[in-house]
């Protein structure tokens, strides 16, 4: 597994220390860093802490200015308020752009961050001056729309984080008021372009994936409401589970890419899609959920089965196009298709227990598969995640399904056998490796 970016700075510092202590040569240190896409000289001699502290300092300066203006707002003449807001905001952003033109990107980013905060304060305070408040989410939208071009120009993760935060806030507020956020894909496309082709940032990529999933779910609900209102039904559940399967396929596609940085996205997406699939299996391991969901799934059979087929086929195609298709993705798509297909087409409430048992078997099987994968590949994360899956499943089933002593004893005996066999398999594998 490739190193996640959060660990790369630590690795660079360690390598620099090895070179300094004479453990390895500088050329060997550079070679190690090159293997994981790290600039050895840059990461070992420059600290990002300075710029983080400066950025936070300017952030609080902006908040202090906003608070001070708000406290004394009524005592300032209207013309002075208007002119002062525009002048300060314009001057701050001009300074930032001038620093950028001089090649001083980090100070320029900090100045533009302060300018972006002042820009938002200007929008809100001008709206207060002229009593503009019919639809207040518009102010958040124009704030985000003003920050986004600067983020693209600077290729700055900090400014993009601010733009995405504002865009997501506008999206949630707009949707909660019953309006469809039509222009939200503009922010997603812009952020996607910057993160995929210009600047690698794992945290913002994760936020982008969450934003895309939220927008797709909201769009589906708007479509179900006849493009006039949001109508959240069982199809959101079916589609959400399908998105988890598609995300696992996308993880493989990114991991197979030769483009710089995309493999890191694949590792991150694989990690969280796996956790999401396990969480969904755990949620659906209760018969009460199936009992409530089955009638809703049957009410719109054609819509739900269409969603299931489209999501399954999409995962299969993406996995195939990755060039290094994984059988586990095909298996996951097949399980999703068969489980939800059966629930939509054939199941009744009397079958809720059957679906619960199937789901629990899948959960236990996934835990065993993760333990085996962790042992074979030597990845501790998979091993401990598999062990945790088995233990949590056993605990939940003891509380929810098997409450008597005999049933609990049988259940814990089964899990003990699984774990002991895993330990024996681990020891056998280690011996084969050392021999």
Regarding pTM above 0.75, the answer is yes
| Integer Cα distance of 116 and 124 in angstroms | 13
Q: Report the pLDDT value the prediction gives residue 251, as an integer from 0 to 100.
A: 95
For the chain, percent of residues with pLDDT exceeding 70: 87
Instruction: For residues 261 and 8, give the distance between their C-alpha atoms in angstroms, rounded to a whole number.
Output: 12
Q: Which of the 8 DSSP states describes residue 74?
A: G
Q: Could you report the per-residue pLDDT of 93-121, keeping only the tens digit for each?
A: 899 899 888 988 888 888 898 899 889 88
Q: Compute the average pLDDT of residues 345-372.
A: 89
Res 311: pLDDT: 97
| Residue 348 structure tokens | 């009744």
Tokens of 214: 């939220």
Which of 38-52, 238-252, 387-401, 402-416 is predicted least confidently? 38-52
Nearest to 358 by CA among 279, 272, 290: 290
CA 259 vs. chain centroid, Å, equals: 20
323 φ, ψ to 5°? 85, -20
Residue 122 makes CB contacts below 8 A (sequence gap 6+) with 85, 86, 89
- What the block records as the tokens of 87 is 């002048």
pLDDT for res 12: 73
pLDDT in tens, 144-202: 999 999 999 999 888 999 999 999 999 999 999 989 999 999 999 999 999 999 888 88
Q: What is the average pLDDT across 271-295? A: 93
Checking if the pLDDT of 43 tops 50, the result is no
Contact in structure between 175 and 135 (CB atoms under 8 Å): no
Looking at the predicted structure, is the pLDDT value of residue 18 above 60?
yes
Q: Is the pLDDT of residue 340 over 90?
A: yes
**Collapsing DSSP states into helix, strand and coil, what is residue 67?**
helix
User: Mean pLDDT, the chain, as a whole number?
Assistant: 84
Does residue 23 or residue 415 have the better pLDDT? Answer: 23
Cα dihedral 127, 129, 134, 137 in deg (nearest 10): 20
pLDDT value, residue 180: 93
Q: How many CB atoms lie within 10 A of CB 284?
A: 23
The whole-number pLDDT of residue 111 equals 87
Number of CB atoms found within 10 A of residue 393's CB: 21
Per-residue confidence at 51, pLDDT binned at 50, 70, 90? low
Q: What is the mean pLDDT of residues 367-395?
A: 85
Domains in the chain: boundaries: 1-44, 366-434
Backbone dihedral region of 147: left (phi > 0), alpha (psi from -120 to 50 degrees) or beta? alpha
Query: 110 versus 58: which is more confidently predicted?
Result: 110
Least confident of 73-82, 279-288, 317-326: 73-82
């Amino acid at each position: 597994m490739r190193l996640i970016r959060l660990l790369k700075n630590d690795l660079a510092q360690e390598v620099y220390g090895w070179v300094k202590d004479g453990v390895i040569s500088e050329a060997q240190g550079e070679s190690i860093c090159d293997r994981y896409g790290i600039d050895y000289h840059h990461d070992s001699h420059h600290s990002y802490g300075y710029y983080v502290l400066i950025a936070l300092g300017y952030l609080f300066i902006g908040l202090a200015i906003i608070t001070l203006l708000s406290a004394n707002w009524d005592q300032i003449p209207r013309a002075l308020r208007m002119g002062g807001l525009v002048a300060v905001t314009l001057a701050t952003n001009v300074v930032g752009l001038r620093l950028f033109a001089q090649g001083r990107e980090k100070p320029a980013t900090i100045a533009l961050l302060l300018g972006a905060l002042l820009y938002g304060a200007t929008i809100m305070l001008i709206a207060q001056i002229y009593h503009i408040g019919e639809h207040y989410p518009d102010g958040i939208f124009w704030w985000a729309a003003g920050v986004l071009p600067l983020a693209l120009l600077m290729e700055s993760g900090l400014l993009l984080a601010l733009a995405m935060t504002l865009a997501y806030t506008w999206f949630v507020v707009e949707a909660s008021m019953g309006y469809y956020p039509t222009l939200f894909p503009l922010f997603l496309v812009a952020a996607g372009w910057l993160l995929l082709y210009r600047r690698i940032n794992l945290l913002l990529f994760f936020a982008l994936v969450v934003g895309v999933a939220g927008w797709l779910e909201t769009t589906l609900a708007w479509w179900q409401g006849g493009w006039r209102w949001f109508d959240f039904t069982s199809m959101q559940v079916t589609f959400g589970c399908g998105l988890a399967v598609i995300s696992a396929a996308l993880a493989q596609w990114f991991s197979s890419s030769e483009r710089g940085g995309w493999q890191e996205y694949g590792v991150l997406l694989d990690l969280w899609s796996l956790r999401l699939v396990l969480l969904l299996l755990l949620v659906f391991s209760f018969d009460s959920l199936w009992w409530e969901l089955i009638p809703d799934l049957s009410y719109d059979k054609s819509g739900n089965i269409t969603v299931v087929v489209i999501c399954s086929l999409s995962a299969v195609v993406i996995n195939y196009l990755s060039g290094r298709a994984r059988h586990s993705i095909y298996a996951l798509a097949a399980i999703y298709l068969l489980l939800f297909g059966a629930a939509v087409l054939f199941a009744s409430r009397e079958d809720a227990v059957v679906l619960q048992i199937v789901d629990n078997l899948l959960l236990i099987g996934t835990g065993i598969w993760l333990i085996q994968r962790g042992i074979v590949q030597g990845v501790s994360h998979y091993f401990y995640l598999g062990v945790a899956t088995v233990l949590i499943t056993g605990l939940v089933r003891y509380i929810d399904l098997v409450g008597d002593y005999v049933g609990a004893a049988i259940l814990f005996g089964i899990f003990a056998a699984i774990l002991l066999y895993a330990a024996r398999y681990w020891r056998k594998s280690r011996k084969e490796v050392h021999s």
